[in-house]
């Protein structure tokens, strides 16, 4: 037998089942071969599957796999992993720390004034810069040329793995239909499409990553490590509420700390199933 381990499916950034973003959780004594973890993630075919190894009480090594590759950072699967560990008493106390490709990540369980339980993740804030290369801009605009609606691209920003496309309004984000075949050819991991909100939150977004087997990610935590600093500066506020406008949808509560260059990402989660992998 190659792998025998507890597994779970958890909906992250969800206050009710079957919303937010599903993540697979696999708790192992030690990481199996990369090819096996990748095969498991491909088999599950959720946006991300997280593998966890306990290092010390309340301290775990976490690795994230999309259906096609290992991810450098994943917010929703980290939230899902913390929820699973808290719910099934794998950690003691109100916080859990993860060692990851993105450094040390801490998730804290908090209760608000209404008695609701929230998980708050401490993640790095990631800066983006204007995309000024004419060929890149033209390629990104071409991704939206097949849309039947007019998309008004206000600006395009980027870092080493992600493009952020800022549109004129929330309705354009909701209705846009990027050409995924063209998007797969861009030199990036994914595209986040965003705009200021006009409906009860600060900004909205959607996230497309067909390059790694995710046509549209229901709720992406890691993209908000970029979106939070951008919208904090644009709106002149460090505390933000964001909504991802996928079919499943999800809400994220964000708090930027410029002094430490970190962003707090708060959300809820629901366990959908648990079991044991035996392959």
pLDDT in tens, 210-225: 999 999 999 999 999 9
- pLDDT above 80 for 150: no
| Predicted pLDDT at 147 | 60
Each as own residue / partner, the long-range contacts of residues 143-150 (CB below 8 Å, 24 or more positions apart, any chain) are 143/178, 143/179, 143/182, 143/183, 143/186, 143/191, 144/176, 144/178, 144/179, 145/179, 146/177, 146/179, 146/182, 147/176, 147/177, 147/178, 148/177, 149/175, 149/176
3-state secondary structure of 141: helix
| Predicted pLDDT at 128 | 95
| Predicted pLDDT at 177 | 92
Cα 204–chain centre separation = 14
| Predicted pLDDT at 1 | 62
| Predicted pLDDT at 149 | 64
Q: Where are the domains of the chain?
A: 4-124+265-278, 129-260
Q: Which residue has the higher pLDDT, 243 or 114?
A: 243
| Predicted pLDDT at 219 | 97
| Predicted pLDDT at 173 | 96
| Predicted pLDDT at 44 | 95
- Alpha-carbon gap, residue 4 to 277, rounded angstroms: 5
Known active-site residue 48: yes
Instruction: Name the token pair of 60.
Output: 């775990």
Same fold, 4-124+265-278 and 129-260: yes
pLDDT in tens, 116-142: 889 999 999 999 999 999 999 999 999
Beta carbons within 10 angstroms of residue 102's beta carbon: 20
- Going by pLDDT thresholds of 50, 70 and 90, the confidence category of residue 146 is low
Catalytic, out of 30, 43, 48, 70 = 48
pLDDT in tens, 9-46: 999 999 999 999 999 999 999 999 999 999 999 999 99
How is 76-100 classified by DSSP, letter by letter?
Answer: HHHHHHHHHHHHTT-S-SSEEEEEE
pLDDT in tens, 227-242: 999 999 999 999 999 9
**Is the distance from CB of 227 to CB of 128 less than 8 angstroms?**
no
Q: Name, in order, each residue with C-beta under 8 angstroms of 134's C-beta and a sequence gap of 6 or more.
A: none
| Predicted pLDDT at 192 | 98
- Going by pLDDT thresholds of 50, 70 and 90, the confidence category of residue 115 is confident
Class of domain 129-260: alpha beta
Sign of the C-alpha dihedral computed for residues 217, 222, 224 and 227 taken in this order: negative
**Is the distance from CB of 262 to CB of 122 less than 8 angstroms?**
yes
* Ramachandran region, residue 20 (left: φ > 0; alpha: ψ -120 to 50; beta: rest): left
Write the CATH number of the domain with boundaries 4-124+265-278. Answer: 3.10.310.10
Sign of the C-alpha dihedral computed for residues 117, 123, 127 and 133 taken in this order: negative
Q: What mean pLDDT is reported for the chain?
A: 94
pLDDT in tens, 62-114: 999 999 999 999 999 999 999 999 999 999 899 999 999 999 999 999 988 78
């Amino acid at each position: 037998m190659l792998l025998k381990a507890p597994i779970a499916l958890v909906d992250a950034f969800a206050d009710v089942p079957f919303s937010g973003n599903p993540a697979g959780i696999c708790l192992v004594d030690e990481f199996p071969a990369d090819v096996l973890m990748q095969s498991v993630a491909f088999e599950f075919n959720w946006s991300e599957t997280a593998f966890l190894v306990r290092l010390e009480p309340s301290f775990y090594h976490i690795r994230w796999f999309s259906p096609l590759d290992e991810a450098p950072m994943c917010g929703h699967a980290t939230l899902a992993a913390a929820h699973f560990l808290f719910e099934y008493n794998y950690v003691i106390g109100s916080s859990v720390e993860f060692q990851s490709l993105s450094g040390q990540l801490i998730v804290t369980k908090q209760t608000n004034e209404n008695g609701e339980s929230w998980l708050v993740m401490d993640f790095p804030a990631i800066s983006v810069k204007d995309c000024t290369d004419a060929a890149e801009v033209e390629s990104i605009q071409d991704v939206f040329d097949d849309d039947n609606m007019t998309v008004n691209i206000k600006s395009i920003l980027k870092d080493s793995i992600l493009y952020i496309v800022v549109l004129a309004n929330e309705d354009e984000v909701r209705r846009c239909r990027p050409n995924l075949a063209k998007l797969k050819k861009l030199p990036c991991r994914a595209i986040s499409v965003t705009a200021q909100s006009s409906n009860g939150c600060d900004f909205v977004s959607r996230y497309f990553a067909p390059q790694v087997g995710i046509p549209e990610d229901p709720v992406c935590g890691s993209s908000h490590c970029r979106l939070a600093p951008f919208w904090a500066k644009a709106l002149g506020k460090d505390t933000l509420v964001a909504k991802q406008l996928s079919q499943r949808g999800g809400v994220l509560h964000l708090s930027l700390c410029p002094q430490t260059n970190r962003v707090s990402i708060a959300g809820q989660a629901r366990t959908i199933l648990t079991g044991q992998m035996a392959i």
